[in-house]
Structure 1
Amino acid sequence: MGTDKDSKKAGRRYTSFELQGVSVHLKKPFWITVLGVFMVIRGGMFLLNPQLATLECDRRQSLGMCKLVVSSLRGETVTPFPLDRLEKANVQKHGKSTQLVLQTSDGKLYFPMNNGFSFTEKKTSQINTFVQDSKAKSLKVEQDNRWYVYPLGASLIMLGSLSLWFTLKDFLNQSKRRSNF
């Protein structure tokens, strides 16, 4: 019959109960890691997507001009076009989100998706009124999602990073404890 020293030399034998415990123990950190990665990626998407859009139109010049400026942390896109090509504005719905779309004779120009409280329908009405009323001299419509998107994106990145940090820390501590056996 072997002694305790002999069983330690031969290596530790795991019972099926112990192996099940290990697999159950690894499932929870796996899903926390997946959630953490998802939160970091989604937070980054919020921060990098366009957050500020401004449409400015001016009839005071001999040739009326409009420009759509879309800004984000990645930079700014300016799209100038003649006022007489602006036909109308409408709202497209994508689930709970809305998007203001400018219909021009050359095609469509899109404002960024609006997931918040930017009153897209009211802005659409302002644009359509301006297009129909030739006496109106200028128009400025702005959609600014930064006030809620930046804090939301930063919070998601922080929470995701914290969950990844604690999962990694726990994993390293458990690995250290197992190597001490």
Structure 2
Amino acid sequence: MHGAPLPEETLRALGACLAETLVAAHTVGVTHAGLSPTAVLLAPDGPRVTCFGAARAAAPDGTPRAGLPGLEPGSLAPEQATGGRPRPPGDVYALGAVLAYAATGHTVPDRQELPPLLRSVVPTCLARDPAARPRAADVLSALLPAGASATTGAPTVVDAAARSFPLPGRVIAAIARQSAEILAADLPLPSGS
């Protein structure tokens, strides 16, 4: 967040990119099972999604996952927290939590805290009942600008974000600072080198 919520243009691009990523995964039968604010890396050429399978790695199906290290409780779908098998509706819940965090600084906001763009999307994603949540494709459609559509064979939302991902200056400065710190780190060499 680096000081403030992301602007609406960035929220739209972020949400569309993440939804498109989930659509692609769900289409081939893959569930992310670990999407959270810390699993999304922001870069000037678009977001990167990490931590695939975090819920599965933390505990086998049937084992309650609430409170386990590495899993963010605000992003973990209720059915996964109690041990349910990770499924696409759980990813959509996590997508709603990520967008809520990017817009407000926490994963379960009051509806009025959300910018108008997300007031209908995030609450439906965060529905406790998995059957009441939209599909990732529905979230993608809701976040695309008016007149745009997600069609196969056309350039994707991710392609468009790679050309121009609208990060605020404070976030770009934070990325540059973190990159400089990593490049300047004095790492120990393995013995014998």
Larger radius of gyration: 1
Q: Please, what TM-score do these two structures have when normalized by structure 2? A: 0.23
Decide which structure has greater strand share: 1
